[in-house]
Structure 1
Amino acid sequence: MFKLRDYQQETVDNIYQSMKQGNRRIIVQQPPRTGKTVIMAEIARKTTDKGNRVMFIIHRKEVLAQAKATFRKQDVNVNLATMGMVQTLTRRVNKLVEPQLILIDEAHHAISNSYRRIINAFPNAYILYFTATPIRTGHDQLDQIADDIIVGKSIKWLTQHHFLAPFHYYGLGDIDRSKLRKQNGDYSSQSMDEAINHQIYGHIIQQYQRLANGKQAVVYCHSIESAKKVSEQFKSIGVRAAEIDGNTEPQVRDRLVQEFRDQKLMILANVNLFTEGVDLPNVDCVIMARPTSSLALYLQFSMRCLNPRRGKTAIIIDHVDNFLNFGLPNNDRDWKQAIVTKDKRKSNSNDDTGPAIAQCNYCFGTFYRTDIHDSCCPLCGHELKTETKDYKIVNVDLQEIKENQAVEHRKKMIQQILNDQVMANVADKSPGQLHTLKELQAYAKLHGYSTGWAWHQFNNRRKKKW
C-alpha cells in the first residue's frame, strides 16, 4: 500500500469535511505530478471497505491501466469497483450497477454529454471531480455540475517542500503568434503550421545542447510531420530519439515508452501524448514546440519534467512563448473563481494570472521580476538592460521575443563547453550554484563577462560569510 503524504491526507480530510457539510458533488484540484490517483485509490479503499460500490471514470486507455494498478496496490476491493473509459461506460450506463461514489479523473472534461449521461443516471451517488486545472475553454464552467471545490497545495509550496523539482524556464519565440487561429477550443493545426518558424527544428537542437545536454527530454509537437523532423534532427547529432503519436501501433508505442523509462532513449518527440496521467518518471527537460490556448495542456506540458530527485533542477524550453498566455507554471491561480461560469463571476475579477515576469535578452531565461537581484538575470547573471520587457501575462497578442545576436554567441559557447571540463560542469548552473573562484571564472568566460566579474562575485560571497 501507498502511505499518503501529508498534503495528500489533508486533501482526503478536506473532502470528507465537505461531504459532512452536505456537499455531494465536489471538485478536487491537485497540481500535475502530485499523486491524485493515489488519493483516489485511498478514497476508493475506504469506500469499498465499508461495502459500498465505487466507479472510476477516465477518458484515456493508458491512464486507466495505471489507475487499475494503483487501486490494486492500495487494496481496493475490485469486486466493488467499476473502472472504465467514459466512452465505454456511457454506452453501457443502463447496465451498470449503481455506485455510492463516482471518481472522475481529468474532470475538466466532465461537463460534456458523455459524462453527464453517467452522472445523471446515478443521482444519489457522491461525485468527486479530480483535475489539475478546473477550468474549461468557452463559456460554461464546472460550477454547473459541482457544489464545492477542494483546492490543493500550490506549485510553489510543493516545490519549496521538495515534492516537485525546481525549474529554469526559457522562452525562445520561434513563432509569429499573430497567425494563430482557434478551432475546437485550441489553435488549429494549419495556423500552427503557418505561425511556427521553420528554423525551429535546428533551434531545438541548439537550445537542447546549450541548456539541457545529456538530459532526457520530451518534446511536444503540433503535428506528426513536425515530431518526425525533431526526432530526425536529434538522431543526426547522435542523440537517441523516437517519434510517437496517436497513430503509432500500441505495441510499438509501449516499447518506445519502456525504452525511454529504461534510459535507452534520450528524446521522445510526441503529438498529443504524455499530457494526462502517463507515468514517465525520469523526464528532466520539456521542450514545447507547439503553442496552446489551453491552460490545462500548458500545465501538463510544462510540469511533465517536475518529478523531484535530489539535486535536480528541471529545464523547460518554450520555443513558442506559451508563457505569454499563462505565465510560469508556478503562478498562483484562483481556482475557486476559475470554476465559475463567466457571466456569474465577480465584477472585479480579471484574467491576470500572476505577477509580472521578465525575460533576459541574453540567455532568454524567463522569471519573475521579484527574483531579480542587483539588476542581473537570476539564471545567467547577465546584467539586465533597461529594454528588458516586463509582462503582465495572458495577453495572447503580446509581441513575441525575437532572437538576437546571442545566436552566434551560443555556437561559440557550445564549442567551449566541449573543450573545457570546468565549463561543462558550470554550463547548466546559475551563479548562485557556483562556489569556487575557478568555477566563477569558467562561468564568466563561458558567458563573455569581464574578468573582474568573477572576482567581484567571489569577494562579495567572502564578505557575506564574514
Structure 2
Amino acid sequence: MDLRPYQLECLQAIDAKLDQGINRQLVVLPTGSGKTVIFSELIHRKKLKTLVIAHRIELLQQAKDKLKKIAPDIKSSIFCGRKKDLGKQVTIASILSTTRALETLKQENFQLLIIDEAHHAPAKTYKKLIKELGFDNIDSDKRLLIGFTATPYRGDGEALNEIFQEIVYHTTIKKLVHRGYLVKPQGIHVSVGIDLRKVKKVGGDFEKQQLRKVMITEEALQVVVQTIKTQASDRRGIIFTVSIDHAKLLQKRLKKEKISCGVVYSGIDEKKRERTLKSFSRGKIKFITNAMILTEGFDCPVADCMINASPTQNRSLYIQKAGRVLRPYPEKEDALIIDFGYTNKKHALRTVIDLFGDAKLRKIRKACEIKDGEQQKNLTENTETVDDLKVGHVTKEHYDPLDPEKTGGIHHKWIRDKDEKRTVFYLTEGTTRIYLVRYHHKNDGWNVLRHRKSNVSEEIQKEYFGIHTTKKAFELGESLFEEVVHKSFKPKLSGKATEKQLNYLKVLMMQTRVRPKFDLEKLSKAQASKYIDSLSSKRYQRAM
C-alpha cells in the first residue's frame, strides 16, 4: 500500500524522536486520516512483539484487517470476549479484556504498545495497563509506547502529559481538507426551537438528563426531523442522540416521514447491531440514529452527513462526531454537518467552526452563535417590513468554514431567511438593520437595503445601494452596518479622563513597563482611550 506524504512524515517523526530517547510518544491525526494504516506500517517496520489497544470492539477487526493488508506475513490475533488468542507477533485487544488478564499479558513480554483513541489513556484502566506491562519507564530503551488520537484533550481535564512525553507529529483537518485527503465540511446551525440556556453544565458539558428533557420535547423532535427532511433528505446521515429512548423516538419519527432509518445502541444484540451497520453502509437505509456509540470506531466513508441531535460543549467529543463523515468516497463532494440549539456566550455550543482552530474562525464562531437565543426571541415577537419585504423568524444559518469569502471579511452574524420569492440575509442591532435581498425570478444579483429607521445619508446610499455580486454585496453590507452602528453608538469622549480610565492606564503601564511621557492628570477621555488601546495591544504582544 502506498502511503500518503503526511503518513510517511509521521513515521519518520516517530523514528527521529525515538533516537532522541522519547519512548512514550503521542501522534495527533484527524479522524479519517489513516491512523490504522500508520501504526500497521509501524508494526511492519519494527517487527516487535506488539499489543494494540482499542477502546471500541468495532476497532479490533478493522485493525486486524488493515494489518493483514499491509503486512500479510505478520501473524495477529484478537484478545476480546470469547476470543482470547495469544502467542502471535501482534495481539489486538479491547481495554476491558486486558484489565482482567494483566498477569497473562505480562508473560507475553510486549515491546511495542499502541493505544488507539489515546485521549482515553489517562483513565485508571489504561494507567494500570501501562504500568503493569512496563511502559511507564521513560528510561527504557526496550519498550516503545505510541498513542494515536484526533483530540489530544479531555473534557474532564485529565492531562495526557502524565502518560506521554511529547506530541511527535500533528496535522489538522484543515490541512487534510485542502490537500484532498478529507472532504470539505459544510455547516447548518438551526438555532430555533431548542433553548439550551437553562441546561446545567457538568464536567465541561451539558448535564445529560437535563439535555435529554429538552431534546425529547415535541418541538425539538419536530425541528430535528423537519431539518433532516428539508436539508438532508438526499444524504446518508449519522444521527447522534442524547439517550437510547431519544434515538428510538427519532428513528420512529423519520420512518413516519418515509425516511429509512436504523438505530443502534449499547444494549442491542451484537449481531443485530452489525446487520444494521451493514445495511447503512450498503445504502439499504439512509440514516442511522445512535446513542453515542458511533463516536469512535465506526468507519463508513459513504456517510456524508452528521446530524448532531445531542448538542455538546465538549470540543473533543464534537470533533469525534464530525470526523465520522469527513472521509473521502467516490463522488462525495462534501460533508453536511447539522447542529441544533441556542445558548449564551458563557456556555457556547460546539459547531462545525470548532473543526478549525485559527483566530478568524473563532471570531466567526462567536458571530454565528453568541446571540442566537436573543435574536430568535426578538424576531419572533416583532417582524419588520422593508417596502413589501416581510421577514419572519430565524430558520437556520448556513456557513462554510473554509470559504475565504466568508472567513476573510465577514465578522457579523448574518441571519438568513428564504421563501418562494426571495432569499434574504440581514444584520440587526438596535434600530439598525441592513438587508441583502436576491429575488429568485430575476437572479441578477443582490440588492443592499436598509430598514427605514436606520439613519443613512443620501451620499452613503448612492455608494452602497444597488445590485451587486455576492462577494461585493456582503462586503458593502458589512461596511454599511459598521458605519451606521458606529454613528449610532459612538461614545462621548469629550472632557477629562475618568478615574477608572486613569487607574486602568497605570495598571497597563506596570504590565508593559512603559514610562509615561505625559501628565496623566491632564489627559482627555479621547487621549486616555487611545493610550489604553495602544498599551493593551503591547500587553497582548508580550503575552504571545
C-alpha displacement of 1:135:
0.6
C-alpha displacement of 1:69:
1.3
Please name the residue that 2:61 is paired with.
65
Please name the residue that 1:346 is paired with.
none
Please name the residue that 1:56 is paired with.
52
Show structure 2 runs of 5+ residues with no match: 77-87, 370-393, 431-435, 447-466, 471-544
C-alpha displacement of 1:126:
1.0
Answer yes or no: is 1:147 the counterpart of 2:165: yes
Q: Percent identity?
A: 25
Please name the residue that 2:439 is paired with.
450
Aligned to 1:318, the other structure's residue is in SS state strand
Answer yes or no: is 1:263 the counterpart of 2:305: no
Superposed counterparts of 1:192-211, under 5 Å = 192-196=211-215, 197-211=217-231
CA contact (8 A) 1:359 1:365 kept: no
Please name the residue that 1:365 is paired with.
398
C-alpha displacement of 1:386:
2.5
Please name the residue that 1:387 is paired with.
428
| Structure with the largest fraction of strand | 2
CA contact (8 A) 1:359 1:367 kept: no
Please name the residue that 1:317 is paired with.
338
Please name the residue that 2:89 is paired with.
80
| Cα distance change, pair 89–304 in 1 and its aligned pair in 2 (3 A) | same
Superposed counterparts of 1:31-430, under 5 Å = 31-48=30-47, 52-75=48-71, 76-78=74-76, 79-96=88-105, 97-121=108-132, 122-123=134-135, 124=140, 125-173=143-191, 174-183=193-202, 186-196=205-215, 197-309=217-329, 310=331, 312-320=333-341, 324-326=348-350, 328-332=353-357, 354-357=362-365, 358-359=367-368, 361=394, 363-367=396-400, 370-371=407-408, 384-387=425-428
CA contact (8 A) 1:171 1:321 kept: no
- Larger relative contact order (C-alpha < 8 A, sep ≥ 6)? 1
Q: What's the CA shift string for 1:41-64, capped at 9, x where partnerless?
A: 11111122xxx2111011211111
CA contact (8 A) 2:27 2:168 kept: yes
Aligned residues: 384
C-alpha displacement of 1:356:
3.0
Please name the residue that 2:29 is paired with.
30
In structure 1, how many angstroms separate the alpha carbons of the residues matched to 2:41 and 2:417?
44
C-alpha displacement of 1:4:
1.4
CA contact (8 A) 2:438 2:445 kept: no
CA contact (8 A) 2:119 2:149 kept: yes
| Cα distance change, pair 183–460 in 1 and its aligned pair in 2 (3 A) | closer
In structure 2, how many angstroms separate the alpha carbons of the residues matched to 1:329 and 1:181?
21
- Opposite residue 146 of structure 2, the aligned amino acid is L
C-alpha displacement of 1:311:
5.4
CA contact (8 A) 1:376 1:383 kept: no
In structure 2, how many angstroms separate the alpha carbons of the residues matched to 1:185 and 1:60?
23
Which structure would you say has the larger Rg? 2
| Cα distance change, pair 227–362 in 1 and its aligned pair in 2 (3 A) | closer
Q: What's the CA shift string for 1:384-404, capped at 9, x where partnerless?
A: 422389xxxxxxxxxxxxxxx
In structure 2, how many angstroms separate the alpha carbons of the residues matched to 1:291 and 1:87?
28
In structure 2, how many angstroms separate the alpha carbons of the residues matched to 1:316 and 1:64?
28
In structure 1, how many angstroms separate the alpha carbons of the residues matched to 2:31 and 2:250?
26
| Cα distance change, pair 448–249 in 1 and its aligned pair in 2 (3 A) | farther
Q: TM-score, normalised by structure 1?
A: 0.74
C-alpha displacement of 1:315:
0.9
Show structure 1 runs of 5+ residues with no match: 335-351, 390-446, 462-466
- Opposite residue 7 of structure 1, the aligned amino acid is Y
C-alpha displacement of 1:303:
2.4
- Opposite residue 126 of structure 2, the aligned amino acid is Y
C-alpha displacement of 1:247:
1.0
Q: What's the CA shift string for 1:363-421, capped at 9, x where partnerless?
A: 411455525579996999955422389xxxxxxxxxxxxxxxxxxxxxxxxxxxxxxxx
C-alpha displacement of 1:451:
5.5
Q: What's the CA shift string for 1:71-120, capped at 9, x where partnerless?
A: 12221343211221111112222222111111001111111121111211
CA contact (8 A) 2:51 2:91 kept: yes
C-alpha displacement of 1:318:
0.4
- Opposite residue 98 of structure 1, the aligned amino acid is N
- Opposite residue 286 of structure 2, the aligned amino acid is M
| Cα distance change, pair 239–325 in 1 and its aligned pair in 2 (3 A) | closer
Please name the residue that 1:349 is paired with.
none
Q: Which moved more, 1:316-325 or 1:21-30?
A: 316-325
In structure 2, how many angstroms separate the alpha carbons of the residues matched to 1:94 and 1:114?
14
Aligned to 2:303, the other structure's residue is in SS state coil
Aligned to 1:242, the other structure's residue is in SS state strand
| Cα distance change, pair 451–312 in 1 and its aligned pair in 2 (3 A) | closer
In structure 1, how many angstroms separate the alpha carbons of the residues matched to 2:18 and 2:9?
14
Q: TM-score, normalised by structure 2?
A: 0.64
